[in-house]
A and B are shown apart, each in its own frame.
Chain A
Amino acid sequence: MKEMIGKASAKVRNTVERGAVKKFAEAVGDVHPIYLDEEVGKKSRFGENIAPPTFARVFDYGVIEGLNMPNKGLIHGEQIYHYERPLLVGEDVYCYAKVSDYYEKPGALGNMGFVVLENNGEDKDGKTIFTSKSIVILSEAYRKVQQV
């Protein structure tokens, strides 16, 4: 896994879809008009509806070649978002993923692995809209099964 540090996916164009924002806001019980009501969006300083901060997890971040990490058995330890500004409904966001670190340490689940995975989004000019980091924990059992 260590050899994956620094590897990134190719950027993928995503659109902040109005319907997807509505479904997401409903799923987290955050049905505020700034996300859903077009008039409220237009009148706001953004001139548009915005998306909730954790909406970014919906985007496609592409595939990091060689990274074999099936969901099953993974433990999500930590999640960090940084926003330069809120996401606007209707805009295109260019997203990519990157392995920024990997380390191992002994713990409750044996010799555990920690993968720091970045999921970042830029506007069409390559300006950062948000960055995010997930710290994913691989238990000793997971590492044996997946051979990582």
Chain B
Amino acid sequence: MTKIAELYVGDTLNEIQLDPVSRIDLIKYAGASGDFNPIHTIDEEAKKAGLPGIIAHGMWTMGNLAKLFTTYYEEGFIQDYSIRFRGMVFLNDVVTLKAELKERDENLLKFDVLAVNQEGKPVLKGNVVYRLF
């Protein structure tokens, strides 16, 4: 495996395609995170809120995306992680997680990160600053 410190600007991390989003994924995240907003788990509540169906917690997708970096833990850590929630993730959506190195500033690696759905539409977008030890 390539070291994260050896990446060049323009290089990407190995992207990850998640399994189709299931209700149990969101129930598990609700329990693990303590976010029990029912629009993420209960159809009627999502409909009452004007949604076509339940949607994933934005933080579920953001939490998933961080794993692009986990394997490099011996080299550094995520210092800054900023995300804008751009689109909703529905049941059975297939989300793909991506990161591209945009800039290097000594021991700081600045990545653009992105999660897209099966239509290639961004559902979240942001940046990671990875600090090397």
* Interface of A toward B, CB cutoff 8 Å: 20, 23-24, 26-30, 32, 34-35, 44-45, 50, 52-54, 57-58, 71-73, 76-83, 85-86
- Kindly state the separation between the CA atoms of A54 and B18 in the bound complex, as whole angstroms: 18
* Interface of B toward A, CB cutoff 8 Å: 18, 25, 28-29, 31-35, 37, 49, 58-60, 62-64, 66-67, 70-71, 73-74, 77-85, 133
Contacts of B18 in A (CB 8 A): 29
Contacts of B81 in A (CB 8 A): 53-54, 80-81, 83
Q: Are B80 and A82 in contact (CB under 8 A)?
A: yes
Contacts of B83 in A (CB 8 A): 78-80
Contacts A32-B67, A80-B82, A83-B77 hold; do A23 and B31 have CB atoms under 8 A apart? yes
Q: Are B63 and A28 in contact (CB under 8 A)?
A: yes
Contacts A23-B32, A53-B78 hold; do A28 and B84 have CB atoms under 8 A apart? no
Q: Are B71 and A32 in contact (CB under 8 A)?
A: yes
Contacts of B59 in A (CB 8 A): 54, 57, 76, 79
Q: Are A26 and B28 in contact (CB under 8 A)?
A: yes
Closest 5 CB pairs of A and B: A28-B63, A27-B32, A30-B67, A54-B63, A23-B32
Q: Are A72 and B37 in contact (CB under 8 A)?
A: yes
- Smallest beta-carbon distance A77→chain B, Å: 6
Q: Can you name 16 extra interface pairs (CB under 8 A) apart from A23-B28, A27-B29, A71-B37?
A: A27-B28, A28-B32, A28-B67, A30-B64, A30-B66, A30-B67, A30-B70, A53-B77, A54-B66, A58-B32, A77-B84, A77-B85, A79-B59, A81-B80, A81-B81, A83-B81
Q: Are B67 and A29 in contact (CB under 8 A)?
A: yes
- Kindly state the separation between the CA atoms of A107 and B62 in the bound complex, as whole angstroms: 25
- Kindly state the separation between the CA atoms of A75 and B89 in the bound complex, as whole angstroms: 14
Q: Are B63 and A30 in contact (CB under 8 A)?
A: yes
Contacts of B37 in A (CB 8 A): 71-72
Partner of B58, one of A53, A58, A79: A79
Contacts of A83 in B (CB 8 A): 77-81
- Kindly state the separation between the CA atoms of A45 and B35 in the bound complex, as whole angstroms: 32
Contacts A28-B29, A78-B83, A78-B84 hold; do A44 and B73 have CB atoms under 8 A apart? yes
Contacts of A20 in B (CB 8 A): 32
Partner of B85, one of A29, A35, A78: A78
Q: Are B67 and A27 in contact (CB under 8 A)?
A: no
Q: Are A57 and B35 in contact (CB under 8 A)?
A: yes
Residue pairs across A and B with Cβ atoms less than 8 A apart, 11 shown, are A24-B33, A27-B33, A28-B64, A30-B63, A30-B67, A34-B73, A45-B74, A54-B63, A79-B59, A80-B81, A80-B83
